[in-house]
Amino acid sequence: HDVLSAMEKQMRAEREKRATVLTSEGERDAQINRAEGEKQRLIKESEAKRQQQINEAEGEAEAILAVAQATAEGLRQVATALDAPGGTEAMRLRVAEQYVSEFGRLAKAGNTLVLPANLSDVGSMIALATNLVKDRGGERPTG
């Protein structure tokens, strides 16, 4: 009877040992799986953030390019208009309109403004702008 009891105890100890080993291996595998999951999550988050930054940069670059192209086209159209009959006179009128409009706006805002010009001589300001355009002569926008 003692031999049978000893054998049963030994078998029980072996089963408990195997159960402990299996439990510890299971816990270890679970920890590894959790760590691997966290690693994958962090990788995916950083990849998503990187892609977002790339997309934003590409969007900004496209916007800058669109503005540059629109500006170049506008300058081409202005150059063409200045070369047309009456173009210079139209430019003078437009500059005068903007001059009056801006100073009216500044007066309403109550800003203090120091300008190196004779404000009462709108004609000289228009002549200055016209001369700047004429001085540029052949330097028309290209592209």
Q: For residue 44, is pLDDT > 60?
A: yes
pLDDT digits (tens, 9 = 90+) for 46-64: 999 999 999 999 999 999 9
Specify the pLDDT at position 96. Answer: 82
pLDDT digits (tens, 9 = 90+) for 92-112: 888 888 877 877 776 676 656
Query: What is the value of pTM for the model shown?
Result: 0.47
Instruction: Kindly state the helix (H) or strand (E) to which residue 59 belongs, with its residue range.
Output: helix 2-83
pLDDT class of 88 with cuts at 50, 70, 90 = confident
| Tokens 């072996």 belong to residue | 14
Residue closest to 122 by CA, chosen among 86, 143, 95, 104: 95
- The answer to whether 129 and 102 are in contact (CB under 8 A) is no
Question: Domain locations in the chain?
Answer: 1-83, 86-143
Secondary structure of residue 132 in the 3-state scheme: helix
